[in-house]
Structure 1
């Protein structure tokens, strides 16, 4: 049975064998290993040898002067480069990447983002009131940008919903939607895809609790046109929909209510 020794321990075994010590291991197993023989096991301190000057011999012999180590001479091109020549030497080697330490100049450019032609509409501003009634009926109506008759058209929407659903309206919510709203950059006003996405998200929040497909009333020319311009796969395009004049017009001109009632009856309950 043999055992492999690491190089350092094999070197110790070799040294002991040179001195005649061959039974220093207590085990009877034979050991093998690669002897680690360094090139210069005892390094010589060259600096100390150079600085040492032996004293004169009392016997009259002249001390041998130590041989001085010659100073390495390098060509002018191999000397440490100066700072102003560093860039030329770095640029001479194509394998060296030199980082430009000059400040970066930022140039103002016009970013032109063309809107998707499939999502195109001429409407850039929209103000509507929305009424979700009894988790069945959703009314979206145009209103002027500055409107002071919100309570009147709210009562009108509740009466309209009660007549259409033929039941009291015990649960409802009303809210407003405005575009561009808080957007201050005119560049984004022309992003019709943003407008369509904002409107669909707004309606989605209103009808998320509806157990069935909502009945949709579009009251006003702007909201009607905007829904018409939506992509065919938009959920709003698949709701049973009635298109009438805005609630503010119905409130100011009661004569329009009869025609609006007929349109809602024929469109929602066919």
Structure 2
């Protein structure tokens, strides 16, 4: 007995035949099995319809094995030259110099060296002076005047004239060689670390005075004019060179300029201290 099967049943029958099953039961309309039926399955050459728009893609695609979904195609592997496949150590320098985009790792072992870092302890010298604004006048490489000035100072010319008159009276000769400069602490520094370290202020002041008196042939005569600069020099260590100079202590030059009555007392102090 032979009969035409639907496409789906024909495909199932074909798969069974591939596994060795060549007979099957026929089911009648009542649902009961009848006698065995055997025969040849005739399948149409193309049992499923094919979309003509994608027919070309289907034909060009490689045939899949069984019912497993096809894996994605691997990315093409670039072809490399033998030198690129197996770089040698002696070519590392050439690769490093070839361009900035090439990074060559250093193959040498890393050696760690122990370095002793010397941290200076904070000085135990304490001073109440943390801010200082002074004007300095070096006259004839003999006399040095350090005077307090206000932080906002606008009488520079008047104070210079007063300092020159004082120097001329003390040294008893015309002042034809002199220099004036300013010192401010902490100045433009805004780091609180500097303002809290008194030893830094001491060092800055000593360096500043050292530059002023470096051309003095003899020990300079020092005039400290003002409470702040006087107190700061008093707080310096005893072995500081600045404390070894003959020193007169008077009020600041701005005060002498505003109050002429103080000049007599200042004059007597300078005479008795510097020329005794």
**Band of TM-score, shorter chain:** 0.5 to 0.7
Point out the structure with max Rg over C-alpha. Answer: 2
What's the counterpart of residue 218 of structure 1?
Answer: 224
2-side partners of 1:122 and 1:144: how far apart? 18
2-side partners of 1:115 and 1:183: how far apart? 19
Matched position secondary structure for 1:116 = coil
What's the counterpart of residue 116 of structure 1?
Answer: 123
| Contact residue 115 and residue 192 of structure 1 kept, 8 A | no
| Contact residue 133 and residue 161 of structure 1 kept, 8 A | yes
What's the counterpart of residue 252 of structure 1?
Answer: 258
What's the counterpart of residue 183 of structure 1?
Answer: 189
1-side partners of 2:223 and 2:186: how far apart? 23
Alignment pair present for 1:232 and 2:263: no
What's the counterpart of residue 158 of structure 1?
Answer: 164
What's the counterpart of residue 110 of structure 1?
Answer: none
Instruction: Report the RMSD for the aligned CA atoms in angstroms.
Output: 1.4
Shift of residue 146, structure 1, vs aligned partner: 0.1
1:1-270 correspondence to structure 2 within 5 Å: 115-117=122-124, 119-270=125-276
2-side partners of 1:161 and 1:137: how far apart? 7
| Contact residue 128 and residue 178 of structure 1 kept, 8 A | yes
Cα distance change on mapping 1:231 and 1:156 into 2, 3 Å = same
| Contact residue 136 and residue 215 of structure 1 kept, 8 A | yes
- When the two structures are superposed, what TM-score results if normalisation uses the length of structure 1? 0.57
What's the counterpart of residue 107 of structure 1?
Answer: none
2-side partners of 1:127 and 1:140: how far apart? 10
Shift of residue 114, structure 1, vs aligned partner: 7.3
2-side partners of 1:157 and 1:212: how far apart? 21
2-side partners of 1:245 and 1:188: how far apart? 28
Gaps of 5+ in 2: 1-119
Matched position secondary structure for 2:133 = strand
1-side partners of 2:122 and 2:147: how far apart? 26
Q: How many residues align?
A: 158
2-side partners of 1:162 and 1:140: how far apart? 16
Matched position secondary structure for 1:128 = strand
Matched position secondary structure for 2:145 = strand
